[in-house]
A and B are shown apart, each in its own frame.
Chain A
């Protein structure tokens, strides 16, 4: 994380030395864009705070731990679609799920939807893409996640084993 701050600081200094007025403009643009989208970010934060309280890790563990493959993929992709988790929480959780016997197929559906499908990011997405295209993008991502999960299952020999 800190290397990012250093990088941005250096970028701003270099930009400032190269062209003062351009740099001021860049900061102004940054500020204007940030303020404009802030309400949508607030909506996202409120949604995520509620969703994560309703679906704590223990509940996810319980739901995904005790289901068959078919139910598992449906549950996992639903949970993955409505929640948002940073990678440093999601993958350790997946590691625990794996050790509890949850299949790679189910975890693939979970991680891919977690990353690509965004119910809680929808307030932000629709501000840029519009409601219709945001829905299309999310549905397409959900389909991709399911296909990738099936492929994962095949390659791990979980869906059917090779002859």
Chain B
């Protein structure tokens, strides 16, 4: 049995153990286990509301947007402008990292620069406009401005560096495999 098969079985066993633990907790009223079950339900619902429409948009993007367009705005030749574009695009997204990964692959398959992809990923975590508005209302606008002012240049710089490092190493982003 190869390592892959072993991991597969281990994962299956883990999921079964998890399901049994949560199920048993509900039967016997074991509070921590019930909390875990409720958390799972809560987050699954939230994600099921968001993911199908996110993937439909990704599908539409894949069939309608031309490779040349993505290459022009986010390609290797786009330079700093591509990174700024990546941040602007990320600003309009919802959900955060876990939605950004599949979008990133689609951009990549259409010819976006790897460095720009990493900027896009980071920006979809920290630069989403609706979230910033919410943040500012709790923490004050000064907090948000300082955060963006320092994180954006650091994000662009580190993404460019990582992109350069990977460019010569035959690296490719995969389609969730």
Contact = CB atoms under 8 A, between A and B. Distances in A.
Interface of A: 1, 4-5, 8, 11-12, 15, 22-23, 25-31, 33-34, 36-37, 40-46, 48-50, 52-53, 56, 86-88, 91-92, 94-95, 98, 104, 107-108, 111-112, 115-116, 118, 121, 124-125, 127-130, 133, 136-137, 140-141, 144-145, 147-148, 151-152, 155-156
A116 B126 contact: yes
A101 to B, nearest CB: 15
17 contacts: A4-B53, A5-B53, A30-B56, A31-B59, A33-B102, A41-B47, A46-B15, A91-B135, A92-B138, A94-B138, A95-B139, A107-B139, A108-B147, A115-B97, A124-B176, A133-B171, A152-B150
A128 B53 contact: no
A45 B44 contact: yes
Given A5-B53, A41-B51, A26 B62 contact: yes
A34 B51 CA distance: 8
Contacts of B15: 42, 46
A49 B62 contact: no
Contacts of A92: 138
B44 A37 contact: no
Chain B interface mostly: helix
Contact of B139 (A46, A91, A121): A91
A83 to B, nearest CB: 11
A121 B150 contact: no
B76 interface: no
B52 interface: yes
